């Protein structure tokens, strides 16, 4: 089969910064106080690259992705900093600016396909709609493109699938439909939020391979959100590790695995099962709890759970700085891995006992 040509890549530069985040904060007003879900993220995403966003549950991966898309609740959100997409400022941008970017410039695959597909609308209509709205395709053109997209995401018998409703599809098929919708208008950037978490490992591998292939063919920029460092190792060029609403380590993927600097990243890596583990081994969780995002601790947010933490870590917050021997490798840590001996966690600290 000859593969369809990219829809929207003509005349674009192949390299350079695409998404530039500067001190991005997204806080939610709640009864308990302000939840600092994203709390000062500075990060540049280069065109055509695959960037992994990793971290434990609650570290702010989804909120950061939704902040970039401008898909946040309308009420009770306090935002600051700068998010530039191809130079256009998105924080506090009018809805019309965001609308002009959705679909063609940036698209998102959501964490849960069942809540983001419309249960009352046939699959074909859900894919055709953005084609008609954003690309002005006629009904017949949109139908052809839809079939082509379903073929591209390897959905068998696409012409028959068009008439089905989401509940008639398996989890893997629904996720493929979500990806087809996201790819429909040939986005410059795709934000994929845990696109495979709910799926079994075989389907997971197929979907990730599909995303990587689409990215290469279209020179698409991919932000791949996951809690799985194994996925990151295989499918990304760079990684940003999030903890407590902040990026705590950022590096080219190979460098991150070769020389992990941040103790939190090291702890995440320990939780990857190896081929020697018996099947169904439970992942080693990191002891302790993530920080309270309403009243985060004063020093390093990981200090209470960190085997290397010293007094300074509990008192002073380290900022994200470039490593002296690798300017592309950034970490926020006073005592990076390999510089001090591990110590016993403070038993008096309630956060240290899980
Ligand atoms: N609308 C909201 N109102 C209040 N708090 C919120 C809201 N949305 C998210 N949060 C909080 O923000 C923090 C970050 O959430 P987020 O969903 O980004 O985590 P995540 O890294 O995507 O986790 P997971 O791996 O479980 O998907 C969490 O503490 C969450 O409870
Ligand atoms: Mg999430």
Name every residue whose Cβ is closer than 8 Å to that of residue 238 and which is 6 or more positions away in sequence. Answer: 46, 49, 50, 51, 52, 250, 251, 252, 253
Axis-axis angle for helices 171-183, 139-152 (nearest 10): 130
Question: Which of 193, 19, 154 minimizes the C-alpha distance to 89?
Answer: 19
Q: Structurally, how many domains does the chain consist of?
A: 2
Query: Which pair of structure tokens corresponds to residue 208?
Result: 């990730």
Average pLDDT rounded to a whole number, residues 271-277: 62
Predicted pLDDT at 94? 93
Report residue 12's pLDDT band, with 50, 70 and 90 as the boundaries: low
Predicted pLDDT at 83? 98
Q: What is the 140 CA–ligand 1 centroid distance (Å)? A: 41
- Please report which ligand is nearest the Cα atom of 59: 1
Report residue 107's pLDDT band, with 50, 70 and 90 as the boundaries: very high
- Please report which ligand is nearest the Cα atom of 293: 1
More confident residue, 139 or 279: 139
Does 287 lie in the same domain as 170? no
The set of protein residues with a Cβ atom below 6 angstroms from ligand 1 is 28, 30, 35, 37, 55, 57-63, 73, 111, 227, 293
Residue 25's domain spans which residues? 17-105+189-275+283-293
Does 170 lie in the same domain as 228? no
Name every residue whose Cβ is closer than 8 Å to that of residue 295 and which is 6 or more positions away in sequence. Answer: 33
Q: What is the 293 CA–ligand 1 centroid distance (Å)? A: 10
Domain assignment present for 46: yes
Does 175 lie in the same domain as 206? no
Domain assignment present for 339: no
Average pLDDT rounded to a whole number, residues 60-64: 97
Tell me the CATH number at 228. 3.40.50.300
Q: Is the pLDDT of residue 93 over 70?
A: yes
Count Cα atoms within 13 angstroms, Cβ side, for 296.
22
Predicted pLDDT at 274? 59
Q: What is the CA radius of gyration of the chain?
A: 21
pTM, entire model: 0.90
Report residue 281's pLDDT band, with 50, 70 and 90 as the boundaries: low
Domain assignment present for 343: no
Q: What is the 218 CA–ligand 2 centroid distance (Å)? A: 26
Q: Where is the domain boundary, 169, 186, 203?
A: 186
**Pocket perturbation via mutation, ligand 1, pick of 34, 63, 78 by most ligand atoms within 8 A of CB:** 63
Query: Which pair of structure tokens corresponds to residue 100?
Result: 């002009």
Domain assignment present for 320: no
Residues with CB under 5 A from ligand 2 (ion): 61-62
Predicted pLDDT at 1? 40
Predicted pLDDT at 342? 87
Give the pLDDT confidence of 238-273 residue by residue, as tens digits. 999 999 999 999 999 999 999 999 999 999 988 766
Domain assignment present for 254: yes
């Amino acid at each position: 089969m000859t593969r369809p040509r990219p829809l929207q890549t003509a005349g674009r530069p192949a390299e350079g910064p695409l998404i530039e985040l500067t001190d991005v904060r997204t806080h939610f007003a709640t009864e308990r106080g302000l939840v600092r879900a994203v709390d000062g993220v500075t990060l540049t995403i280069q065109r055509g690259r695959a960037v992994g966003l990793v971290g434990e549950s609650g570290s702010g991966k989804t909120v950061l992705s939704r902040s970039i898309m401008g898909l946040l609740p309308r009420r009770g959100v306090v935002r600051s900093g700068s998010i530039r997409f191809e130079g256009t400022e998105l924080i506090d941008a009018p809805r019309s600016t965001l609308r002009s970017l959705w679909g063609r410039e940036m698209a998102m695959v959501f964490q849960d396909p069942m809540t983001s597909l419309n249960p009352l609308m046939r699959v074909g209509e859900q894919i055709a709609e953005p084609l008609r709205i954003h690309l002005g395709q006629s009904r017949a053109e949109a139908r052809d493109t839809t079939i082509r997209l379903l073929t591209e995401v390897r959905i068998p018998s696409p012409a028959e699938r068009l008439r089905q409703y989401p509940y008639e599809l398996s989890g893997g098929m629904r996720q493929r439909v979500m990806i087809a919708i996201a790819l429909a208008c040939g986005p410059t950037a795709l934000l994929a939020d845990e696109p495979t978490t709910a799926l079994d490992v075989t389907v997971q591998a197929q979907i990730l391979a599909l995303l990587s292939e689409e990215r290469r063919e279209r020179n698409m920029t991919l932000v791949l959100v996951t809690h799985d460092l194994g996925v990151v190792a295989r499918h990304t060029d760079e990684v940003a590790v999030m903890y407590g609403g902040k990026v705590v380590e950022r590096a080219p993927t190979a460098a991150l695995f070769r020389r992990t600097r941040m103790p939190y990243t090291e702890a995440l890596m320990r939780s990857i099962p190896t081929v020697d583990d018996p099947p169904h081994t439970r992942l080693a969780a990191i002891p302790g709890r993530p920080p309270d995002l309403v009243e985060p601790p004063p020093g390093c947010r990981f200090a209470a759970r960190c085997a290397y933490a010293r007094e300074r870590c509990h008192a002073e917050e380290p900022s994200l700085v470039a490593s002296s021997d690798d300017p592309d490798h950034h970490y926020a840590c006073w005592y990076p891995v390999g510089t001090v001996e591990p110590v016993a966690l403070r038993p008096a600290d309630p956060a240290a006992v899980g």
